[in-house]
Amino acid sequence: MDNLGEKIYFIIISSENGVVIKSYINEDEFNKSAISLNIAQAYESAEEITEAIGIHQPDFTLIHSDNFYILSMKVLEKIVILLLEDQVDLGIVFQIINNSIVSS
């Protein structure tokens, strides 16, 4: 989060079924449980759509509204959800996430 500064509003890490595992969020402003559950359901829908089309499951989903991105991606059986300004270079975001993954 430090690398993106004020351009990022929250990060939520949840299980595939929407249970919040970790978050960096202002709970007074956002309902992290509802966000996590809804994004998990949206991700599941995206997986069903890509399967119906006959292509691989999505690496990430991106929602754009007003001047914001809601980015979600599945990493090691967890869903990472970010709310950030749309002026952020998404390549940098993916690079930060990829560099943060520790596999065993």
Strands (E), the chain: 8-15, 20-24, 60-65, 68-75, 78-85
pLDDT in tens, 73-88: 888 888 999 999 988 8
pLDDT in tens, 29-68: 788 889 999 999 998 999 999 999 999 988 889 999 999 9
The kind and range of the H/E element at 43 are helix 32-53
Show the CA angle centred on residue 8, arms to residues 7 and 13, nearest 5°: 165
Residue extents of the structural domains in the chain: 5-100
Q: Which CATH architecture has domain 5-100?
A: 2-Layer Sandwich (3.30)
